[in-house]
Amino acid sequence: MSDTAIVSVIDDDESVRVALDGLLRSHGYSVRTYASAIDFLSSAELENTACLLSDIQMPGMTGVQLLDELRARGVDIPLIFITGLPAVPPRARPGAGGSVAVFAKPFRCAELVACIESILGRQA
Q: What is the CATH number of the domain that holds 84?
A: 3.40.50.2300
Q: Count structural domains, the chain.
A: 1
Q: Output the pLDDT for position 1.
A: 42
pTM across the whole model: 0.88
Say if CB 67 and CB 98 are below 8 A apart: yes
Describe the crossing of helices 109-119 and 14-26 by its angle, rounded to 10 degrees: 60
Q: Output the pLDDT for position 2.
A: 45
pLDDT, tens digit only, all 124 positions of the chain? 445 679 999 999 999 999 999 999 999 999 999 999 999 999 999 989 999 999 999 999 999 899 999 989 999 899 999 988 766 666 666 665 667 888 988 899 999 999 999 989 853 4
Tell me if 77 is assigned to some domain: yes
Say if CB 30 and CB 4 are below 8 A apart: yes
